[in-house]
Structure 1
Amino acid sequence: MAPQRFHEQFDQIQRSMPDVPLAMGPDDSAEFFYEKGVILARDGEEARVVEETVRSHFAAAPDLTADDVRRAGPETNRTGITRIRVGDPAPGVRDGDPAVAHALRALREAEGRRGHRLAGRNHVVSIAVNACPGDEPVPAPAGEPPNPAADGTRYDQDTAVGVLVIDTGLMHDYASYPPLAHTRGDGQVTETDAAGALREYVGHGTFIAGLVAAVAPNTDITVRGTLDDAGAVLESEFGARLFDAVDRDGWPDVISLSAGTANGRFDGLLGVDAFMRELREQDTLLVAAAGNNGSATPFWPAAYAALPDYQDVVLSVGALRGDGERGACFSNHGPWVAAYAPGERLVSSLTGFEAPVPYVYQHSTYDACRYGFGYACTCQSPRHTGVLSEEPESAPGEPDRVTFAGFAQWSGTSFATPLAAGLVAAHMSAHKESDPRAARRQLLAAVTAYAEVRGAQVPALLPPTWRPTPVTRPAPGA
């Protein structure tokens, strides 16, 4: 049976949130995960309108209970969001939540009168972007250098560009990799499981920091472990965590964010609305991953790049395949994606270099590309068997195990994003540009390389020290 990565990730994330019942959405399809029995509304008068409207609607519906409509708290917080309970979720069922769907439909007339959305689901935001990873890390061949390699620029504390990576925390021995000597931030809370193997997505933030440092050595990189818990957080908490990350060190020049979610809409996420409005008033540029669902559905926060008030504030980044000529099979795409950067089989530091550490694959590869592409993409190469993909009674064998001793190859829009962030920072250093948003405009205006993504010609941001890899067809019988 073919792997079902979206469902496998659902189970993985549900285990990391045992007290939060989750559903797949929106209703009968799987585009995102969200909290059952809860909707989000803005604090104050709008939350009151949402409560009253939904309670009235439920009172007239025999299969719903008006008494279930109540504040789930908190009533006030910096994000300006209130959780409102609209049902008692049934445990153990992953399909869409009818109570949430009914509540959102009940609000449509009121939203039409006000001219804007009043409520939304409480989505899961994840670094799997979104819950469907590009792939899992692969040990880099012995002797293979980082890709991209460091560009030779010297670090200068007085002129270094500030880059904040919001991700998982740093591995305990990250500083044994010299390009990260000037990096600081949160340590990864738990690196290994009870058997001593790396947990899923551990090293994600370290890998990203290594990519930024390679493309832009003259940077002060700070890594915050905002998404250490299985790489996922509820939307209602995400905005507050973003505020916490910038509050600790002040607003940086560039934020690199390789996380997000779809929500089936074109107007952003309620849970990050307050953060995005404050970001707009700062001088910071948000560089955000477009997601790995092979879809044109807007993915947030990256898709803010297409909204008029945020086009200069957000750079949304999709992934190119190994040769840089076309889009990677997994990359989201569409007019809301501003640019693309290499995102297949990049090489960076997954762990430090103090001691080798094992890893057990979670997902199996596919017999053919899950998105219908014909090259040897990360869906099927290199082949491995994962523990989450196989039913015990039908498993073809033990999950594959590997050992990491520093460098890894990894693919995803998660990693195209820090390349773009690094190019913005490198442009600022090279041109003595103090405004990261101006650097974004200048960088895109100077693009001479283009790639083909779903029939469209798109700007390709290619680091000078990045080495393209040949694209091949799958081997016969593979």
Structure 2
Amino acid sequence: MTIYGKMCPATEPEEPGHTEPVPAIAGDASAGDGVRVSVVDTGLWVQATKSPDTDWLAGVTPADQDDVENVSSSAIHEYAGHGTFVAGIIRCLAPRTTIEVEGALPNGGAVFESRLCEELREALTDRSDPHLISISAGTHTRANLGLLGFEILAENLGLTDGTKGLVVAAAGNDSSDQPFYPAAFPWVVSVGALDEEGFVADYSNYGPWVDVWARGSNLVNAFPGGTYTCYEPPNKGQVRNFKHLAQWSGTSFATPIVTGAIAAQMSATGNFDDPKKALDQVEKAAPTCKDAKAGGGKHLGPL
């Protein structure tokens, strides 16, 4: 089966107005120490891990050589830097987290379900044995049926109780209450996006299947340096120039805020065996979203 889904940015990358990441780097430099995270995404633009402008990404690695993302500085392709941006947000919330990036979605727009499941299986059975798996992509399905491959994978690898490895996934950006998979699976932590005021972002999916909420609008993090020509209306053809950072919006980027918050909680409590317990602790301490559209869900992480 081919998933005609999408990455989960709501906008194309924009030139940022400043040179610091949003959210900012956590004051506790040890946050995330001992926690292993796999980012299943577009791969890693490794130059970001070596640049002094994005030094919070130092030590982040591709899962293997096939997961390195190649980007032309004269023509940055669509969805380029997505996985790097996501990894950067996790590192800002939990600076000592060990992160590997999988290149499951190099083309952004479509992928065989078998390919995505294989990358997730590799992440979960990798020698690094991740505690958390962050996925900022997904799809709606015919008749809102779940993805069979994911269901089989969850059953075979013991994902349903959240102790083998907790999957955190973006709720999608269609302004819809229809389930978006894999986020809508009950064994996945589904993340919706808030704007800077704490209201549900106008692009974010919503509904009772969305578990938690985090800021997803106008975040700033690592991005390939070079020239990007917009692919989508209303800005199609507009040329933007980047110097290692971009501003970006979407449930894609709310997702790593939640992942980073869980990682920070795990290291703070010394709990490396039960990521679900860490999530429950973070949720218990978090405020309830002030927007009724969030259905009483909790707001995790900073605005």
Normalising by structure 1, we get a TM-score of: 0.58
1:290, 1:156 → 2: CA distance?
26
User: In the superposition, relative to structure 1, how do residues 156 and 296 fare at CA in structure 2: closer, same or farther (>3 Å)?
Assistant: closer
The correspondence of residues 385-424 of structure 1 with structure 2, limited to 5 A, is 385-386=235-236, 399-424=237-262
1:134, 1:323 → 2: CA distance?
17
Decide which of 131, 150, 161 is 2:35's aligned counterpart.
161
Per the alignment, residue 20 of structure 2 pairs with 145
The percent of aligned pairs where both chains have the same amino acid is 38
Per the alignment, residue 83 of structure 2 pairs with 205
The correspondence of residues 317-396 of structure 1 with structure 2, limited to 5 A, is 317-324=191-198, 326-351=199-224, 356-365=225-234, 385-386=235-236
1:145 Cα deviation from its structure 2 partner: 1.3
1:257, 1:300 → 2: CA distance?
10
1:455, 1:441 → 2: CA distance?
18
The amino acid that maps onto 2:57 is L
1:166, 1:148 → 2: CA distance?
21
The amino acid that maps onto 1:363 is E
1:297 Cα deviation from its structure 2 partner: 0.6
1:304 partner SS = coil
User: In the superposition, relative to structure 1, how do residues 124 and 436 fare at CA in structure 2: closer, same or farther (>3 Å)?
Assistant: same
2:297 partner SS = strand
Q: Is the 8 A contact 1:216 1:425 kept in 2?
A: yes
Decide which of 242, 246, 258 is 2:120's aligned counterpart.
242
Deviation track 1:286-343 (CA, whole Å, cap 9, x = no partner) reads 11110111111111111113xxxx3xxx21100001222x101110100000111000
User: In the superposition, relative to structure 1, how do residues 250 and 220 fare at CA in structure 2: closer, same or farther (>3 Å)?
Assistant: closer
2:291 partner SS = strand
Per the alignment, residue 295 of structure 2 pairs with 456
2:111, 2:222 → 1: CA distance?
25
2:213 partner SS = strand
Q: Is the 8 A contact 1:295 1:331 kept in 2?
A: yes
1:402 partner SS = strand
1:242 Cα deviation from its structure 2 partner: 1.7
Decide which of 12, 18, 23 is 1:136's aligned counterpart.
12
Q: Answer 1 or 2: higher relative contact order, Cα 8 Å, separation at least 6.
A: 2
1:455, 1:252 → 2: CA distance?
29
Per the alignment, residue 57 of structure 2 pairs with 180
1:329, 1:318 → 2: CA distance?
11
User: In the superposition, relative to structure 1, how do residues 156 and 286 fare at CA in structure 2: closer, same or farther (>3 Å)?
Assistant: closer
Q: Is the 8 A contact 2:5 2:137 kept in 1?
A: yes
1:449 Cα deviation from its structure 2 partner: 4.0
The correspondence of residues 52-71 of structure 1 with structure 2, limited to 5 A, is none
Q: Is the 8 A contact 1:167 1:231 kept in 2?
A: no
The correspondence of residues 3-152 of structure 1 with structure 2, limited to 5 A, is 122-124=1-3, 126-129=5-8, 133-141=9-17, 143-152=18-27
User: In the superposition, relative to structure 1, how do residues 251 and 358 fare at CA in structure 2: closer, same or farther (>3 Å)?
Assistant: same
1:125 Cα deviation from its structure 2 partner: 5.3
Q: Is the 8 A contact 2:104 2:115 kept in 1?
A: no
Per the alignment, residue 132 of structure 2 pairs with 254
The amino acid that maps onto 1:163 is V
1:450 partner SS = coil
Q: Is the 8 A contact 1:126 1:227 kept in 2?
A: no
The amino acid that maps onto 2:238 is D
1:250, 1:267 → 2: CA distance?
32
2:150 partner SS = helix
Structure 1 portions without partners, runs of 5+: 1-121, 366-384, 387-398, 467-478
1:148 partner SS = coil
1:331, 1:235 → 2: CA distance?
23
Q: Is the 8 A contact 2:139 2:180 kept in 1?
A: yes
Q: Is the 8 A contact 1:125 1:238 kept in 2?
A: no
The amino acid that maps onto 2:13 is P
1:295 aligns with 2:134: no
1:153 partner SS = coil
2:4, 2:171 → 1: CA distance?
13
1:283 Cα deviation from its structure 2 partner: 2.3
Structure 2 portions without partners, runs of 5+: none
How much is the aligned-residue C-alpha RMSD, in angstroms?
2.1
User: In the superposition, relative to structure 1, how do residues 206 and 453 fare at CA in structure 2: closer, same or farther (>3 Å)?
Assistant: farther
1:127 Cα deviation from its structure 2 partner: 4.0
1:227 Cα deviation from its structure 2 partner: 0.9
Aligned residue pair count: 293
1:360 Cα deviation from its structure 2 partner: 0.2
Decide which of 130, 149, 154 is 1:276's aligned counterpart.
154
User: In the superposition, relative to structure 1, how do residues 124 and 264 fare at CA in structure 2: closer, same or farther (>3 Å)?
Assistant: same
The correspondence of residues 430-445 of structure 1 with structure 2, limited to 5 A, is 430-434=268-272, 435-445=274-284
1:429 Cα deviation from its structure 2 partner: 1.5
Normalising by structure 2, we get a TM-score of: 0.90
User: In the superposition, relative to structure 1, how do residues 455 and 256 fare at CA in structure 2: closer, same or farther (>3 Å)?
Assistant: closer
2:223, 2:127 → 1: CA distance?
25
2:80, 2:22 → 1: CA distance?
20
